[in-house]
Structure 1
């Protein structure tokens, strides 16, 4: 199935996003374009999961899964699905499900669905790590079923949780996000603060408070707690300035403060994330080639 980019951006374009059997895609789409993206999928034979409950609340989990299995005439067994997705109490009423449990039900629904094309919109917002692992298991099964999967994420780091190869859609169209690491080291540890832009003002941020830096659409953003600031710098230049302060280029588009790293998680064979020690537990993509090196640096801190 093809998705016309002009229906998402509202601008003339011959570009198309192609969903292919037994293949998955991950696309970062700004929040302001997600609604038009979702609208472009209506009447297209796509099964869209956006985290909103779409179930008969009077039923319990087991009964609803069995209902879906029969509706789609799926060979999968209800008991096996309950066990696979770690559902502790299948007698729970759907009206009492929390977001974590609704996500699991969405995963099961995707596996049972008769649709060949499956789309998940922002599946990693406000989720838990166990559910991300379950997502990757579901993804593998969908590929084995010959289905196509598209993950649309409003945050670039969430798109990289889905898989290493990511695209993005903005007002200029569809683009491939480069992931090759080729930055040169040029350390300079002579500063303790760094200049950033906050609206029309220039402010100075203490370097040790910075959690990570990210490059998007030609701009470098500095993340500090719940705040995000624009740096008047390239990511390579910022990395050179911050290397001696314990910062590390974990991905072409990201530099993390190693002192803020809580853990490293392997989602699948080629997909990794660095977890930042903040209330949001921010998940920063980690290049496969950097997996061993970052662990060595963390040990030496």
Structure 2
């Protein structure tokens, strides 16, 4: 559906450098990037900005030609949007349903996005989560073939985020191609089967095989004495801080650095996530995702978003949510005796 080849563009100190993207129908990718990079990429795809180099195709047609006659087949939900504030939700949805001459029943779309029961509520009185769902519902009325979504679940309440994720999965099952961007690493990992990071160095795939490679390593037959680590080091400026494992809520690996999350603050650690996993397993730490180690004592809830998407809700200071790999779910159930 969407093919990008050798794309290069520099604008306002933001550089999209020689990236290649291929999103087929019925699939999605998510990209971790800054707000500015996300805006630039979307504007390039929509033909609002001219690339310095490279090609963009939609359904094998150059994007500028495609958009001339098929703009209505592209859905876009931006991170910030304006509404007709004096309208109610139902008036707003009916207005766009009539404008688009859609074959969809707008009330059915409202129901899927949990908006039907508050249809008489004026838009100016909606919460942030309700407005995000309304933007999504409006674009679904287009019955688009390609969908771009900035920050689908950032700052959303849990129920609203779950509704968004479920509907994204439903659109993929209907054959839609979806591009998602987010400033948060963990949201990027959770939202699509393929995740990338886009920065000035280019496009980097985040779904590596580190986790899987560990499963192929045979345990040594001779039993080694169990040791316990008393302190985990982290460097802050010129100081080296030593933390008890029980102080650590979770550990996130990003850009080759293991960051210890402690009471809402992050502390970089020079020890690799793989080594930390080995050293902390006797303290109740679990590799919930290739990029995360979690202190199971902090896990409050296992959340099922879809059949293939899970997360862990923690009872730490900031109520963190971490992605849970599907392949790790059964192992976690065994550990927790669920």
TM-score, normalisation: structure 1: 0.88
1:27 to 31, 56, 61: 31
**Farther off after superposition, 247-256 or 25-34:** 25-34
Q: Secondary structure at the match of 1:221?
A: strand
2:77 to 25, 41, 49: 49
In the TM superposition, what is the alpha-carbon distance from 1:5 to its structure 2 partner? 5.1
How big is the shift at 1:47?
3.9
* Aligned residue in 2 for 1:147: 176
- Give the structure 2 partner of residue 168 of structure 1: 197
Partner of residue 153, structure 2? 124
Alpha carbons 1:196, 1:204 under 8 Å: kept: yes
Shift of 1:74: 1.6
Superposition RMSD in Å: 2.7
Q: Does 1:89 align with 2:121?
A: no
Partner of 1:192: 230
How far 1:138 sits from its partner (Å)? 1.8
Contact kept in structure 1, 2:14 and 2:36, CA below 8 Å: no
TM-score, normalised with respect to structure 2: 0.79
Q: Can you list the C-alpha shifts for 1:213-260, whole angstroms capped at 9, x where unaligned?
A: 111221111112321111111111111111111101112111111111
Residues 249-293 of structure 1, C-alpha deviations (whole Å, 9 max, x = no match): 112111111111111112122221122223543221222221011
Deviation readout 1:105-163 (Å, 9 max, x if unpaired): 02212311365322111222111222232123321342355432111121221012213
Distance 2:123 2:96 in 1: 14
Give, in angstroms, the shift of residue 83 of structure 1.
2.3
Q: Compute the displacement of 1:31 (Å).
A: 5.4
Q: In the alignment, is the contact (CA less than 8 A) between 2:17 and 2:200 conserved in 1?
A: no
Structure 1 segments unaligned to the other structure (5+ residues): none
Kept in 1, the 8 Å contact 2:78–2:150? The answer is: yes
Cα 1:219–1:265 shift into 2, 3 Å: same
Structure 2 unmatched ranges of 5 or more? 49-62, 68-73
Change (3 A) 1:280 1:32: farther
Q: Deviation digits for residues 2-52 of structure 1, max 9, x if unmatched?
A: 456533785574322234333211122245644544554453655432332
1:78 Cα deviation after fit: 2.4
- How many equivalent pairs are there? 300
